[in-house]
Amino acid sequence: MRAVSVDDAPAPAFGLAERLTPGEGPWHQHRRHQLLYAASGRLTLELDDAAWTLPPQRAAWIRSNTLHRVCLTRPVELRAVYLSPEFCPALNTDARVFAIDELTRQLLLASVRFGPARDPDDPLANDLLRTLAGLAHEHAARAEPTRLPRPRDPQLARAVAYTLNHLHERIAVSEIARAAGLSERSLHRQLVADCGLNPRQLLHTARMLRAMELLEDPTVSVGEASLRAGFLSMGSFSLAFKAFAGLSPSDWRRREETPRR
């Protein structure tokens, strides 16, 4: 998906713009940290144990040497920033997805001015990219869980599968635990230990990501998306969605339909 060997570029940090076509990208890794941002469209970032959805309101940090791939169902205008470990410190996690503010978005878009062949000592480029990395660290530190785990433990895998298959229903944590063959306490303890989120966070995140997928379909109304994501009231759905995505369901849909470059 890249025409540039990102690890061989002379610049310690640089930005790239790519137009990705629908499909599943290859699994790969590189020696640089990476920031990913979909200027338009929505992509899925996958690691071996988790998956995240990236709409235009979110960016992703991927630590160096982390195996990953991106998947998409329609074209995406991607902005990617690659940073050598010597250029900026790493987060203490393989990957993190987080909401961004307008300043961070503008810096991500501007980063493509400074490509892999730029002067490594260009002070403007280095200052901009260090500032961008610092903002990404701040946003990532405050990020709420927005990933769907892919646990290797068979009981936890059953818990996740049951949750995803019953999002349109009123699911109780006790039902998820029963499907996994665990007590509620054991499910909570093991999910937090293995996946970094508790059963209620799992359910809420899954509902929000399902709602995003549904809102991408212009034939699905906001009300229908609310019901199919498991909400009984439009008011509670709108509040939950805005807290999660930073926009109301209607505004999020309009932004998806009107790419910002």
pLDDT digits (tens, 9 = 90+) for 173-228: 999 999 999 999 999 999 999 888 899 999 999 999 899 888 878 889 999 999 99
Same structural domain, 26 and 129: yes
Same structural domain, 18 and 126: yes
Q: Does residue 94 sit within a domain?
A: yes
Q: Does residue 129 sit within a domain?
A: yes
Domain of residue 105, CATH code: 2.60.120.280
Query: Could you report the per-residue pLDDT of 112-150, keeping only the tens digit for each?
Result: 999 999 999 999 999 999 999 999 999 888 776 677 888
Give the residue from 139, 144, 136 showing the smallest Cα distance to 52. 144
Give the residue from 26, 192, 32 showing the smallest Cα distance to 16. 32
Same structural domain, 132 and 233: no
Q: Does residue 176 sit within a domain?
A: yes
Q: Does residue 88 sit within a domain?
A: yes
| The pLDDT value given to residue 257 | 60
| The pLDDT value given to residue 45 | 92
| The pLDDT value given to residue 259 | 47
| The pLDDT value given to residue 1 | 44
DSSP class per residue in 199-210? HHHHHHHHHHHH
Same structural domain, 59 and 158: no
Same structural domain, 184 and 105: no
Query: Could you report the per-residue pLDDT of 158-168, keeping only the tens digit for each?
Result: 999 999 999 99
Same structural domain, 35 and 108: yes
**Residue 194 near residue 153, CB atoms below 8 Å:** yes
More confident residue, 79 or 146: 79
Interhelix angle 154-165/173-180, nearest 10 degrees: 130
Same structural domain, 20 and 120: yes
Same structural domain, 120 and 200: no
Q: Does residue 160 sit within a domain?
A: yes
| The pLDDT value given to residue 218 | 83
| Number of domains forming the structure of the chain | 2
Q: Does residue 147 sit within a domain?
A: no
Query: Could you report the per-residue pLDDT of 16-52, keeping only the tens digit for each?
Result: 999 999 999 999 999 999 999 998 888 889 998 888 8
| The pLDDT value given to residue 243 | 87
**Residue 113 near residue 81, CB atoms below 8 Å:** no
Same structural domain, 211 and 235: yes
Domain span holding position 88: 13-141
Same structural domain, 19 and 61: yes
Last residue within a domain, chosen from 92, 119, 141: 141
Domain of residue 164, CATH code: 1.10.10.60
Q: Does residue 4 sit within a domain?
A: no
Last residue within a domain, chosen from 79, 113, 141: 141
Q: How many CA atoms lie within 13 A of 247 on its CB side?
A: 18
| The pLDDT value given to residue 22 | 92
| The pLDDT value given to residue 3 | 60
